[in-house]
């Protein structure tokens, strides 16, 4: 029989050993700096969102939140490191559509399970792509593009940042839903792909909004459609691709994740701090072509499973593999 004295002794012993019971640990969290892993290089969509959020979380949580870029292998290296970290709230991950949805279908031997190994905390940011064409191609809108593509199957080309990237899968989803055949031209990254479209060497591209919008405004690219489900308020002149191709949606997104065994009170506090921070950085998000993705653990869990199903099907239909 466990008596009150035995229980107190056990708790005291655990404290002396530096191991607090989960409830006590969660209540006192955080007491030291927090590491936010970003599985991509500095300067990209995920890194920018992470650094803006980390600055605000540092204030609200009372401890420094530092960004740790662990780039490589399509985000696998950093994501695996986060999955294997201690579930104590001191290592968090800025996961993405690539690390937690697309990689599931792309890699047969993925070294982590985005559902079993992680607990979703909160959505952070999302950004649509922009379908653009070179002016010399004479394609004014999505309807014309579809007509041209059906008349000349496999002739029109679209560039991407490489096999299995979001810009590639956006093209494959478009082909599937619109019933057209476009020729995929992969590059080493999105930058040279965008350069090729600007030079007229490639006809089309689903490029990131921050990258392509300035060129569209200057007339160097024709903006055919935004990949959000509906038009953006501040870009209302650009139609949504979904207006012509129902069901088409392609938005890159980021969200916070922690190892699955992280105590629930820590997850809830981190979620609350993130939701509190998002309105404070929303203006900066807007300037960069990002939108806050405000959703809690349960909402992100449902969203994540739907994204995995969606992109795994797109990848299988297109016969894409990355290993």
- Cis geometry, peptide bond prior to residue 292 (ω within 30 degrees of 0): no
Residue with more model confidence, 106 or 208: 106
C-alpha dihedral sign at 321, 166, 160, 36:
negative
Q: Has residue 158 got a pLDDT over 90?
A: yes
What per-residue confidence (pLDDT) applies to 187? 86
Binning pLDDT at 50, 70 and 90, where does residue 181 land? very high
Residues 110-149 have pLDDT tens digits of: 999 999 999 999 999 998 999 999 999 999 999 999 999 9
Residues 42-68 have pLDDT tens digits of: 877 788 899 999 999 999 999 999 999
Residue with more model confidence, 40 or 34: 34
Q: Which residues are bridge partners to 212 per DSSP?
A: none
Residues 247-271 have pLDDT tens digits of: 999 888 999 999 999 999 999 999 9
What per-residue confidence (pLDDT) applies to 92? 98
Tell me, yes or no, if the two domains 32-127+251-318 and 128-243 fold the same way: yes
Binning pLDDT at 50, 70 and 90, where does residue 25 land? low
Residues 231-243 have pLDDT tens digits of: 988 889 999 999 9
pTM of structure: 0.79
Task: For the chain, give the number of residues.
Answer: 323
What per-residue confidence (pLDDT) applies to 191? 80
DSSP assignment letter at 254: E
Phi, psi values for residue 298, rounded to 5°: -70, -45
Six-digit token pair at 310?
């969606």
Going by C-alpha positions, the residue among 163, 212, 207, 206 that lies closest to residue 315 is 163
What per-residue confidence (pLDDT) applies to 26? 64
Instruction: Report the alpha-carbon distance of residue 216 to residue 135 in Å, rounded.
Output: 10
Q: What average pLDDT does the structure give for the chain?
A: 89
Instruction: Report the alpha-carbon distance of residue 159 to residue 82 in Å, rounded.
Output: 32
184-212 residues labelled b (16+ CB within 10 A) or e (exposed): bbbbeebeebbebbbeeebbbbbbbbebb
Proportion of the chain above pLDDT 90, given as a percent = 68
Binning pLDDT at 50, 70 and 90, where does residue 8 land? very low
Proportion of the chain above pLDDT 70, given as a percent = 92
What are the Cα distances from residue 311, in Å, to 65, 164, 194? 32, 10, 23
Q: Which CATH number fits domain 128-243: 1.10.287.110, 1.10.10.60, 3.20.20.150, 3.40.190.10?
A: 3.40.190.10
What per-residue confidence (pLDDT) applies to 15? 41
DSSP assignment letter at 173: H
**In the chain, what is the straight-line distance between the N-terminal and C-terminal CA atoms, in Å?**
55
Give the DSSP per-residue string, 26-50.
Answer: HHH--SS-EEEEESS-TTSHHHHHH
Q: Which CATH number fits domain 32-127+251-318: 3.40.190.150, 3.50.30.40, 3.40.50.300, 3.40.190.10?
A: 3.40.190.150
Distant-in-sequence, close-in-space partners of 295: CB < 8 Å, separation ≥ 6: 122, 123, 255, 303
Instruction: Report the alpha-carbon distance of residue 173 to residue 180 in Å, rounded.
Output: 10
What per-residue confidence (pLDDT) applies to 20? 45
Residues 62-121 have pLDDT tens digits of: 999 999 999 888 889 999 999 999 999 999 999 999 999 999 999 988 999 999 999 999
Distant-in-sequence, close-in-space partners of 133: CB < 8 Å, separation ≥ 6: 139, 145, 197, 203, 204, 221, 222, 224
| Domain residue extents for the chain | 32-127+251-318, 128-243
44: left (phi over 0), alpha (psi -120 to 50) or beta: beta
What are the Cα distances from residue 313, in Å, to 148, 169, 317? 26, 11, 6
What are the Cα distances from residue 125, in Å, to 48, 209, 294? 10, 13, 8
């Amino acid at each position: 029989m466990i008596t009150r004295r035995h229980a107190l002794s056990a708790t005291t012993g655990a404290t002396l050993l530096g191991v607090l019971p989960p409830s006590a640990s969660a209540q006192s969290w955080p007491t030291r700096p927090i590491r936010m892993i970003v599985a991509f290089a500095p300067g990209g969509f995920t890194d920018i969102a992470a650094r803006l959020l980390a600055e605000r979380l540092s204030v609200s949580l009372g401890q420094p939140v530092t960004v740790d870029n662990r780039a490589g292998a399509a985000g696998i290296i950093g994501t695996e490191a986060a999955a294997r970290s201690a579930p104590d709230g001191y290592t968090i991950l800025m996961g993405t559509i690539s690390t937690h949805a697309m990689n599931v279908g792309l890699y047969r031997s993925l070294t982590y399970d985005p559902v079993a190994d992680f607990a979703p905390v909160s959505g952070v940011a999302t950004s649509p792509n922009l379908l653009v064409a070179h002016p010399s191609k004479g394609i004014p809108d999505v309807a014309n593009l579809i007509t041209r593509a059906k008349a000349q199957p496999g002739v029109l080309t679209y560039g991407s940042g490489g096999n299995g990237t979001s810009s590639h899968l956006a093209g494959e989803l478009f082909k599937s839903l619109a019933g057209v055949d476009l020729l995929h031209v992969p590059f080493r990254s999105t930058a040279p792909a965008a350069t090729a479209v600007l030079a007229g060497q490639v006809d089309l591209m689903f490029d990131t909004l921050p990258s392509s919008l300035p060129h569209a405004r200057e007339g160097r690219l024709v903006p055919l459609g935004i990949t959000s489900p509906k038009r953006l308020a501040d870009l209302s002149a650009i139609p949504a691709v979904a207006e012509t191709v129902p069901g088409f949606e392609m938005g890159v997104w980021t969200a916070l994740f922690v190892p699955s065994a992280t105590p629930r009170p820590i997850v809830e506090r981190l979620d609350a701090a993130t939701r509190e921070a998002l309105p404070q950085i929303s203006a900066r998000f807007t300037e960069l072509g990002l939108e806050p993705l405000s959703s809690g653990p349960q909402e992100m869990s449902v969203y994540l499973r739907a994204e995995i199903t969606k992109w795994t099907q797109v990848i299988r239909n297109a016969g894409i593999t990355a290993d």
